Amino acid sequence: MAPDRLTAFTDGVVAILITILVLELKPPLGDHFGDILDEKGRLLAYLLSFVFVAIYWVNHHHLFQVVHRIDGRVLWANIHLLFWLSLTPVATAWLGRTGAKTGPVATYAVVLLGCAIAYTLLTLALLALHEAESQLHQAIGDDRKGKLSLLLYAVAFVLAFIEPWISIALFVVVACIWFVPDRRVSRTLQSST
Amino acid sequence: MAPDRLTAFTDGVVAILITILVLELKPPLGDHFGDILDEKGRLLAYLLSFVFVAIYWVNHHHLFQVVHRIDGRVLWANIHLLFWLSLTPVATAWLGRTGAKTGPVATYAVVLLGCAIAYTLLTLALLALHEAESQLHQAIGDDRKGKLSLLLYAVAFVLAFIEPWISIALFVVVACIWFVPDRRVSRTLQSST
Amino acid sequence: MAPDRLTAFTDGVVAILITILVLELKPPLGDHFGDILDEKGRLLAYLLSFVFVAIYWVNHHHLFQVVHRIDGRVLWANIHLLFWLSLTPVATAWLGRTGAKTGPVATYAVVLLGCAIAYTLLTLALLALHEAESQLHQAIGDDRKGKLSLLLYAVAFVLAFIEPWISIALFVVVACIWFVPDRRVSRTLQSST
Amino acid sequence: MAPDRLTAFTDGVVAILITILVLELKPPLGDHFGDILDEKGRLLAYLLSFVFVAIYWVNHHHLFQVVHRIDGRVLWANIHLLFWLSLTPVATAWLGRTGAKTGPVATYAVVLLGCAIAYTLLTLALLALHEAESQLHQAIGDDRKGKLSLLLYAVAFVLAFIEPWISIALFVVVACIWFVPDRRVSRTLQSST
């Protein structure tokens, strides 16, 4: 089966998730320019959640550039990823309100770990469908980025009970790793043309 | 007419339905990790509704792999299915809050029966448009899965007034039947290539 | 320019509009099957609004089967239609709550008149871009359906101040006229193949 | 990489943003036709926000008619634009409630300036990917419209602290400049065929 409808559906779900926290933003009560700071916490939570979901979308976009076929298992692996992604906004909202406390930081680590595991499972389901010499196999390689992320999120979960700020620093580190997504895929795409 | 726009529209509506209960999820009031259990009911309702809508999407996706043309009747049959699917989240939310009581369980059975009837009508409208030797006819066959689902949901509705837990067990049975969607369609797709 | 992205965007907006009233549906407070009747008004309003938006989507779908090119004016005519359609849910919600009173019925007539005028303008913008012997011109003809709808909605608006029930009857009449959308377009499509 | 999925995702996000303020529209409490005026402020805010987002969508649509390839930088430039666009509805809602006060008008200027800068960055990222003699370069030219908009929004921000009405007038001026989007692109498209 071709991946067209899977990507279209993913785009629809992500479009909703990326904008869900906008619904929480309310105009401030006053009419001074400084009143906008009343919404600081929600704005920041929105920005964070927006960036995290966007990073996944951009990487999903790149991944599927080299995907040529899918099956039922890939569909479910993708829906599983969407489920974990859909929890990001509410986890971010909690974090945005309380700041660096154990509860929201540990929850955030669980949600991000869920997303990372789901992304890894999706990658494995796709690799199983493509030949060893395919563009996909060359682009993914031994998936060091994926494995490192899983490890860092697990560490961040444990540290949330000791010093939440270190966990947050680890989230930022993983985000930076994935912010530039194209290297592997674009290198493969270029070298094959 | 080609089915492209029908599937795109369906994906859009399903993307919204599958995420609607996310809007109900609120971060807990406290900041301990255990506070997340306050949202247990809503999280579970969200998960249930997500899975049910996803099962329909995956099956719809597979069905339309072997659909080559549509008409006005198919459009309306599809919109009818979307209407019933759109009631799943609110039915799940009721069930998630009250637990296994007659009211929500019977309502849930009605909504699922509506979805199943709508899916059957969509299948029939599609079969009428395709030749007897088409991939679609081979994939659907005598539609035992569809007929069995209708029967089980009707039984579940009646049992909701006697012992709601048995009805819930029946919902799970039908979900399992449809969880693996691809057999019929993928077998047909493979044998034809 | 090709109409692909215009139709995709329309599908996205309509998918949201058609499901917006779902957000208003809340599970009843009790846990008896009869408690569902507490939500009767909202359910009915949802059904009505769903059907009205669906009728426009189905007709839009058929119309664009015979559209081969668009321009900036068509884009804006289409966005204008989407604006009026987006007011349907809130107008229906008002009607659903108060019943056949002058205020909501007259408002409903205004919104439906706005939709009908916008659809007519869209048709005219499209006709101006296609040759006289095109499928589009054959399918639209002298647009008696469109003109009749405009007339009936205008009459319904006036009657809302005298006897709202007659206005509602007129809404139903127009809905029936457009419920079967395919005649003109499908006849043209078939005769050309 | 081809721009298909980028435009599809953009359409999804814009479809949500353009309809978000609909969720704020509630039917009036009474049942007289005049009661609709109670919702005047929200209706006007909805209309304004709808038009602003629509103007960006139409221009984005035209821009991508002459885009042939994208890269990771373009993806992020586009997501950056979507972020600023997503703030338009809430800024409009504030403006709609308080009227021409310094706070909301200055905020509005900041959001529109953010959109304009993001659109300019997107244009630059696209120009860097296309040859000097491409349709895109001919269509954009020296981008006087873009530069003028940036200047006017910056002036509007400063004037919001002196006389907010002049800022609002400047917003309208820029909207008019972009309302007719097709000149540059359609001229280029026509001359090349």
Mean pLDDT, all residues of chain D:
88
- Inter-axis angle of helices B4-19 and B72-98, nearest 10: 10
Chain A partners of C12 at a C-beta cutoff of 8 Å?
A: 12, 15
Q: Phi first, then psi: what are they for D69, rounded to 5°?
A: -150, 155
Complex-level ipTM: 0.89
> Is pLDDT at B171 greater than 80 in this prediction?
yes
pLDDT in the model for residue B181 = 62
Q: Residue D13: closest CA among chain B residues belongs to which residue? A: B12
Instruction: Pull the structure tokens for residue B101.
Output: 């009581």
Instruction: Give tens-digit pLDDT for D96-106.
Output: 888 889 999 99
Please judge whether D1 and A189 are an interchain contact, meaning their C-beta atoms are less than 8 angstroms apart. yes
CA distance D188 to chain C (A): 12
For chains B and C, CB pairs below 8 A equal 88
Tell me the Ramachandran region of residue A141: left when phi exceeds 0, alpha when psi lies from -120 to 50, beta otherwise. left
Tokens 């860092």 belong to A152
What CA–CA distance (Å, rounded) separates D63 from D40? 35
> Is pLDDT at A193 greater than 50 in this prediction?
no
What CA–CA distance (Å, rounded) separates B48 from B92? 7
Please judge whether C31 and B82 are an interchain contact, meaning their C-beta atoms are less than 8 angstroms apart. no
Instruction: Pull the structure tokens for residue A122.
Output: 């999706």
pLDDT in the model for residue D181 = 62
pLDDT in the model for residue B53 = 93
Chain B partners of A101 at a C-beta cutoff of 8 Å?
A: 31-32
User: Could you tell me the pTM of the whole model?
Assistant: 0.91
pLDDT in the model for residue C193 = 47
Q: Helix, strand or coil for residue C161?
A: coil
What CA–CA distance (Å, rounded) separates D32 from C79? 29
Instruction: Give tens-digit pLDDT for B62-121.
Output: 899 899 899 889 999 999 999 999 999 999 888 888 888 999 999 999 999 999 999 999
> Is pLDDT at A27 greater than 50 in this prediction?
yes
Chain D partners of B15 at a C-beta cutoff of 8 Å?
A: 12
> Is pLDDT at B60 greater than 60 in this prediction?
yes
Q: Which residue from D12, D87, D106 is facing A15, i.e. has the nearest CB?
A: D12
Residues of D with CB under 8 A from a CB of C: 7-8, 11-12, 14-16, 18-19, 22-23, 25-28, 30-36, 47, 50, 54, 57-58, 61-62, 64-65, 180-182, 186, 189
Select from A7, A9, A108 the residue whose CB has the most chain B CBs within 10 Å, as the one to mutate to test that interface. Answer: A9
Residues in CB range of D66: below 8 A, 6 or more apart: D134, D135, D136, D139, D185, D188, D189
> Is pLDDT at A128 greater than 70 in this prediction?
yes
What CA–CA distance (Å, rounded) separates A50 from D92? 20
> Is pLDDT at D193 greater than 50 in this prediction?
no
Question: What confidence tier does A107 reach under pLDDT thresholds 50, 70, 90?
Answer: very high
DSSP state, residue A35? G
DSSP state, residue C2? -
B145/D105: higher pLDDT: D105
CA dihedral (D180, D186, D188, D189) in degrees, to 10, reads: 160
pLDDT in the model for residue C186 = 62
Question: What confidence tier does B187 reach under pLDDT thresholds 50, 70, 90?
Answer: low
DSSP tally for chain A: helices H, then strands E:
8, 0
Whether the Cβ atoms of residue D86 and residue D19 lie closer than 8 Å to each other: no
pLDDT in the model for residue A182 = 52
Instruction: Give tens-digit pLDDT for D113-155.
Output: 999 999 999 999 999 999 888 888 888 877 888 889 999 999 9
* Mean pLDDT to the nearest integer, D168-183: 81
Share of chain C above pLDDT 90, in %: 50
> Is pLDDT at A130 greater than 70 in this prediction?
yes
What CA–CA distance (Å, rounded) separates C59 from C143? 13
Chain D partners of B12 at a C-beta cutoff of 8 Å?
A: 12, 15
Q: Which residue from B19, B27, B186 is facing A93, i.e. has the nearest CB?
A: B27
CA dihedral (A64, A54, A90, D56) in degrees, to 10, reads: -120
Question: Nearest-CA neighbor of C105 among C84, C87, C91?
Answer: C91
Q: How far is CA D167 from CA A181, D41, D172, in A?
A: 40, 19, 9
User: Interface partners of A (3+ CB pairs, < 8 Å)?
Assistant: B, C, D
Question: What confidence tier does D190 reach under pLDDT thresholds 50, 70, 90?
Answer: low
Residue type, A21: L
What CA–CA distance (Å, rounded) separates B163 from A14? 40
For chains A and C, CB pairs below 8 A equal 3
Instruction: Give tens-digit pLDDT for D76-120.
Output: 999 999 999 999 999 988 888 888 899 999 999 999 999 999 999
Q: Phi first, then psi: what are they for C71, rounded to 5°?
A: -140, -175
> Is pLDDT at D58 greater than 60 in this prediction?
yes
Residues of C with CB under 8 A from a CB of A: 12, 15
pLDDT in the model for residue B61 = 92
Instruction: Give tens-digit pLDDT for C134-186.
Output: 888 888 877 888 889 999 999 999 999 999 999 999 998 888 888 776 566 66
Please judge whether B47 and A103 are an interchain contact, meaning their C-beta atoms are less than 8 angstroms apart. no
Share of chain B above pLDDT 90, in %: 51
Residues in CB range of B84: below 8 A, 6 or more apart: B111, B114, B115, B117, B118
